Amino acid sequence: QIDQDGLTLPERTLYLGQDEESEKILAAYRVFMERLLTLLGAEEVEQKAQEILKLEQHLANITVSEYDDVRRDVGSMYHKLTLAELQRITPTLKWKRLLDRIFHDNFSEEEEVVLLATDYMHKVSDLIRVTPSRILHNYMLWRIVVVLSEHLSTPFRDAIHELSKEMEGNEKQLERGKICLSQANKHFGMALGALFVEEHFSSASKAKVQQLVEDIKYILDQRLDELDWMDEETRRAARAKLRYMMVMIGYPDFLLKPEAIDKDPALHSLGAGISPDVAVSPQFEVDEKTYFKNILNSIAFGIRLSVKKIRQEVDKSAWLLPPQALNAYYLPNKNQMVFPAGILQPTLYDPEFPQSLNYGGIGTIIGHELTHGYDDWGGQYDRHGNLVHWWTERSYSKFLKKAQCIVNLYDNFTVYNQRVNGKHTLGENIADMGGLKLAYYAYQKWVREHGPEHPLHHMKYTHDQLFFIAFAQNWRIKRQSQSIYLQVLTDKHAPAYYRVLGSVSQFEEFGRVFHCPKNSPMNPVHKCSVW
């Protein structure tokens, strides 16, 4: 799969100096480039930095924003073609030679690849043709330097921090101990995950979360019958997708077998059953005295593992995150939801919590990921994870109309004088709203089956109210004002404040539970609703 890439800054518009904030970031990036090049002993630093920056600005001009309509429609981007056809589109790039070297293979010119950015690749080929090779070489070296400089000495990390301070307002650097923990987590995630699971997540908790997931899936199945905008053919396809959806919870089962981790070089942990001075697997060496070399060894090993997967069947049981990750995800091309043990912890989930807090906490996140299978992006994939349009035109047209209501709602939100982009954040907003509803109705089902929960002592809130409070607390976050600018520009999630207000204000049960007057800001008469 071949796609556009090549920018160091997180969004193309930052290179174009369209407002005061982006001009500040671009100036800080230029200073950062010159500092790093000086530390590396380069000559004519200002000239080299200017040449690299100019090339990146050219790349920014031909890059399509991830939030452009073209990039949201996977079907229109997806082009399967042969290497020979790709070569004709990009004549300055020697694709066969490049792929043969990467994969240690001898590819036929009839080998098929997927191209996701046809226009970009055509233009980048022209750009390479007219750019002096010296500048291209410096640019490629710069891209490597940017990735690896965080692993070098203090002056390099100081330069990174200065750029981060300008972009995100980070005043303090991470302590060295936290940096080391972060890197160990990144490079030996599954091995550390085995220790985390043993300490913090029992098989009993795994079973309880599984039941919670099933309850929320049951509610979506019911909701499908209640949607008046969806016709029967689309409803059957949506229900089939729900039935086939794979759910992975907590951790992969092999982590409970330490001998499997010790034997698998891909999961090897420093000192796991081997001398603490040097831990060696057949393909991956780690030495406590050579930190930077360890990083390079790990990166090279990861590349070798990826290369080996060529032409192999996709492993749908593979985990993209280790168990200790505080995150969850839905993969449309696998029709798969994953909830690592790290997110199944207080305050989001605790088997001893009242169920109102569990359903309002992790329940709304489970509902969120489930709804991603039916948002403007995930809805383009069928039950098997194939890129197939399974909607009838009539139902899809009504879906888009309902989605536009959400776009308009979020377009009217502002934070630090920046307007939230309803189209950029649409998928996440659909998932937030859908997840809130599914979890709430699943909690009501639990109450019907088990009886009302006892009121909490010295607490003035009902359990229905606590459900919504738990949902709001999911998104509590402290941010510097500088980072808000970048978030609105680059993040597919709306700012946390509006993730909460946007969702609850459109749900009639919130207005009822908190006695919000009709047509008040938190209980408008006309509400947006998809799922």
User: Quick check: 410 pLDDT over 60?
Assistant: yes
Residue of 21, 166, 215, 432 with catalytic role = 432
Question: What are the angstrom distances between the C-alpha of 364 and each of 216, 273, 290, 311, 328?
Answer: 9, 41, 44, 38, 12
Q: Is residue 87 part of a domain?
A: no
Q: Which CATH number covers residue 377?
A: 3.40.390.10
Share of the chain above pLDDT 70, in %: 95
126 and 209 assigned to the same domain? no
Residue 264 pLDDT level (bands cut at 50, 70, 90): low
- Is residue 498 within 8 A of residue 415, CB to CB? The reply is yes
Q: Is residue 394 part of a domain?
A: yes
The single-letter DSSP state of residue 42 is -
Taking the whole predicted model, whether its pTM rises above 0.85 is answered as yes
The beta strand positions in 274-348, using DSSP E, are 278-280, 285-287, 329-331, 336-340
* Bridge pairing between strands 285-287 and 329-331: unpaired
> Residue 159 falls within a domain, yes or no?
yes
37: Cα within 13 Å, side-chain hemisphere: 23
Are residue 407 and residue 479 in the same domain, yes or no? yes
Taking the C-alpha atoms of residue 480 and residue 90, their distance in angstroms, rounded to an integer, is 43
Distance CA 450, CA 356 (A): 12
How many structural domains compose the chain? Answer: 2
Is 491 labeled as catalytic in the residue annotation? no
Residue 270 has pLDDT above 80, yes or no: no
Residue 163 belongs to a domain: yes
Using pLDDT thresholds of 50, 70 and 90, give the confidence band for residue 265. low
What is the pLDDT confidence band of residue 69, given thresholds at 50, 70 and 90?
confident
Q: Please report which confidence band the pLDDT of residue 90 belongs to, taking 50, 70 and 90 as the band edges.
A: very high
Structure tokens at 263: 């034997």
- Whether 276 shows a pLDDT value over 50: the answer reads no
Residues 494, 345 share a domain: yes
Check whether the bond before 347 is cis (ω within 30° of 0): yes
- Domain residue limits at 360: 198-252+319-513
pLDDT, tens digit (0-9, with 9 covering 90-100), for 101-123:
999 899 999 999 999 999 999 99
Nearest in space to 529 (alpha carbons), one of 226, 304, 298, 308: 226
- Residues 156-175: tens digit of each pLDDT: 999 999 999 988 888 888 88
66 and 203 in a single domain? The answer is no
Mean pLDDT along residues 340-350: 94
Mark whether 382 and 429 lie in a shared domain: yes
The mean per-residue pLDDT over the stretch 459-476 comes to: 95
Give percent of the chain above pLDDT 90.
73
Asked whether residue 258 is domain-assigned, the answer is: no
User: What HEC string does 137-151 produce?
Assistant: HHHHHHHHHHHHHHH
Q: Which of 460, 423, 462, 527 lies closest to 70, judged by CA?
A: 423
Find the mean pLDDT for residues 502-510: 97
- Say if residue 262's pLDDT is above 70: no
More confident call, 400 vs 313: 400
Q: Which of 127-141, 249-263, 486-500 has the highest mean pLDDT?
A: 127-141
pLDDT (0 to 100) of residue 88:
93
Shared-domain flag, residues 211 and 123: no
In a domain, 56, yes or no: yes
Indicate whether 138 and 212 sit together in one domain.
Answer: no
432 is catalytic: yes
Catalytic-role residue among 51, 369, 428, 464: 369
> What is the chain's mean pLDDT, rounded?
91
In this prediction, residue 263 carries a pLDDT of 62
pLDDT at 342: 95
**Which one, of 442, 486, 451, lies nearest residue 209 by Cα?**
442
pLDDT at 27 over 50: yes
Q: Which of 46-50, 180-184, 267-271, 486-490 has the lowest mean pLDDT?
A: 267-271
More confident position, 440 or 376: 440
Evaluate if residue 279 carries a pLDDT over 70. no
Q: Does position 269 have pLDDT exceeding 90, yes or no? A: no
Q: How far is the C-alpha of 466 from the C-alpha of 361, rounded, in Å?
A: 10
CB burial of 466-475 (b: ≥16 within 10 Å; e: otherwise) equals: bbbebbbebb
Sorted by sequence, the CB contacts under 8 Å of residue 274 that are 6+ apart come out as: 280
How confident is the model over 274-287, as a mean pLDDT? 53
Query: How is the chain split among helix, strand and coil, in percent rounded to 5?
Result: 60, 5, 35
Query: What pLDDT score does 280 carry?
Result: 37
